[in-house]
Amino acid sequence: MPPVRSSAPVRLSGLELRVLHLPLVSPFTTSFGTEDVREVIVVRARTADGDGWGEVVTQHAPLYSSEYTHGAWDALRRWLIPALLDRPTIAAEEVGGVLAPFVGHRMAKAGLETAVLDAALRAEGRSFAAYLGAERDRVPAGVSVGIQRDPAALVQAVGGYLDEGYARIKIKIKPGRDLADTAAVRDAFGMIPLQVDANSAYTLADADLLAELDRFDLLLIEQPLQEDDIVDHAALAARLRTPVCLDESIVSAKAAADAIALRAASVINIKAGRVGGYLEAVAIHDLCRAAGLPVWCGGMLETGIGRAANAALAALPGFTLPGDISASSRFYERDIVTEPVVLDDGHVRVPTGHGLGMEIDEAALDAFTVQRETIAR
């Protein structure tokens, strides 16, 4: 029987927002910069029947997309949360519609929708995985490896993750750190499942260079061009044998449908934050499945909150490629949940507990909180 993705309305008494600073176990470098500390917003939805949790996956600066922590914070407290509190009760499936008049701010909206959904499912005693219609109890774990000092350091980092059992490696690339880095990993480890992520660092003028990646038999190249370069991605995809996967460009189900129609992508990376929430993420999964496109679950250095939710999402049947679903220890020495996600035989378990299936470690949460505000009814 197909899942009934519908939950009971909740009465919100207020929403608590926190900015957290979580130290990373090692710096994470992409074409747009280096992070040493993960800055993230955690949302607690308060109801008479208990709390629900969500995560706003913005970063400190608007480099991956236009969203950033303090922009999201302002949008949340000034516009988005008051709109939710304006309703006597609200179901998670109504959150997107209530927030739709406010343009953009998808990561902020996703954090709210997730917190409401978690509260509702906990109150009903259902797991997020069951709600979504997850079909597996564990999912293969891929790892995203940042740009290192040099190719030798990259080989060492990748070797460590392979030793841990990761089922797929993704390396970040940028101009000047592409062919040699990829060649070094292929030379060291042979035909491991390998893909590259450019985070928009190229233009169509780089098509000849990007076509040289074809010789490495990569699973895919992720987001070579700018967010709004849909037509250029289609032109590039026609030139490459490597499948083109879009991340930044796919901000909604509509954007996914357009990219597919224009043949700008043959694979899509689904991130709930980037598209405004897990329900929009599922809509993208459903339409890609109908169109025959493989999808995989992307990551935004989530805490244990988003990591639990992503594992459930990635257990849907259309997620046929390993996601950026790593163990908490890939990024954090200490997480904010009582049982951080672990790697087991190259897989991560899909949580079965009520709601997102994780419990918050309040002491850890407090220890990492640098800013806090409650917006009450």
Q: Which residues are catalytic, by number?
A: 172, 271
Task: State the distance between the two ends of the chain, measured CA to CA, in whole angstroms.
Answer: 39
Pick what 326 binds: ligand OSB, Mg ion, none; C-beta below 5 to 8 Å, kind-dependent: ligand OSB
The CA-atom distances, in angstroms, between 97 and each of 31, 276, 279 are: 34, 11, 11
Give the CA-trace dihedral at 130, 132, 135, 136, to 10 degrees: -80
Which of 35, 39, 181, 197 touches Mg ion (CB under 5 A)?
197
Stretch that binds Mg ion, among 52-60, 79-87, 227-235, 245-253 (CB under 5 A): 245-253
* Of residues 46 and 233, the one with the C-beta less far from ligand OSB: 233
- Mark 127-146 with x for binding to ligand OSB (rule: CB under 6 A) and - for no binding: -----------------x--
Nearer to ligand OSB, 34 or 320 (CB): 34
Nearest distance from residue 137's CB to Mg ion, in Å? 27
Q: Which is nearer to Mg ion, 112 or 272 (CB)?
A: 272
**Exposed e or buried b per residue across 79-104, where buried means at least 16 C-beta atoms within 10 angstroms of its C-beta:** ebbebbbeeeebebbbbbebbeeeee
Helix (H, G, I), strand (E, B) or coil at 306: helix
Residue pair 35/28 in contact (Cβ under 8 Å)? The answer is yes
Q: Which does 200 bind (CB under 5 to 8 A by kind): ligand OSB, Mg ion, none?
A: none
Output 9 or 346, the one with its CB closest to ligand OSB. 346
8 A C-beta contact, residue 328 and residue 307? yes
Q: Which one of Mg ion, ligand OSB, none interacts with residue 15, CB within 5 to 8 A by kind? A: none
Return the range that interacts with ligand OSB (CB under 6 A); candidates 41-49, 175-183, 297-305, 338-346. Answer: 297-305
- Which region holds residue 215: left if phi is over 0, alpha if psi is between -120 and 50, else beta? alpha
Of the candidates 47, 182, 195, 199, which one interacts with ligand OSB according to CB under 6 A?
199
Least distance CB 83 / ligand OSB (angstroms): 27
Alpha carbon distance 183, 181 (integer Å): 5
299 binds ligand OSB, rule: CB under 6 A? yes
Q: How far is the CB of 211 from Mg ion (least distance, A)?
A: 20
- Count the residues of the shown chain that bind ligand OSB, applying the rule CB under 6 A: 11
Say how far apart CA 29 and CA 287 lie, in whole Å.
32
Q: Where are the alpha helices (DSSP H) in the chain?
A: 69-75, 81-85, 92-99, 106-124, 128-132, 151-164, 179-189, 207-211, 230-239, 253-261, 272-275, 278-291, 304-313, 362-368
Using CB under 6 A, pick the residue from 251, 301, 316, 350 that binds ligand OSB.
301
Contacts of 225 by beta carbon, 8 Å cutoff, 6+ apart? 200, 202, 203, 204, 232, 233, 236
What are the percentages of helix, strand and coil residues in the chain, rounded to 5? 40, 25, 35
Q: Which helix (H) or strand (E) holds 52?
A: strand 50-56
Whole-number minimum distance, CB 65 to ligand OSB, in Å?
Answer: 9
Piece of the chain touching Mg ion by CB under 5 A; list 43-51, 88-96, 195-203, 343-351: 195-203
144 binds, among ligand OSB, Mg ion, none (CB under 5 to 8 A by kind): ligand OSB
User: Nearer Cβ to Mg ion, position 222 or 232?
Assistant: 222
Choice between 18 and 168, CB closer to ligand OSB: 168
Site for ligand OSB in 46-85 (CB under 6 A): 64
Interaction site with ligand OSB (CB under 6 A): 64, 144, 197, 199, 247, 298-301, 324, 326
Interaction site with Mg ion (CB under 5 A): 197, 222, 247
